[in-house]
Amino acid sequence: MTVAAYVRVSTSDQNLDRQLEGVAEYADRELGVAPDELEYFRDKSTGTDVDRSGYQHLVDAVDAGAVDTVVVLEVSRVARSIADLERTVERFRDAGVELHIVEERLVVRPDEEDPYQRALFQMLGVFAELEAKIKRQNIRQGIAARQANDEYRHGPAPLGFTKDDGRLTEAGDYHRVVEVLEQVARGEMSKRQAAAELGCSRRTVQRAVEERAELDGL
Of 144, 159, 147, nearest to 208 by C-alpha is 159
The residues, ordered by sequence, that sit 6+ positions from 159 with a Cβ below 8 Å of its Cβ are 177, 181, 198, 200, 204, 205, 207, 208, 212
Query: Is residue 19 within 8 Å of residue 25, measured between CB atoms?
Result: no
Q: Residues 40, 20: contact at Cβ < 8 Å?
A: yes
- The answer to whether residue 201 is catalytic is no
Distance, CA of 116 to chain centre:
24
Positions annotated as catalytic residues are 10
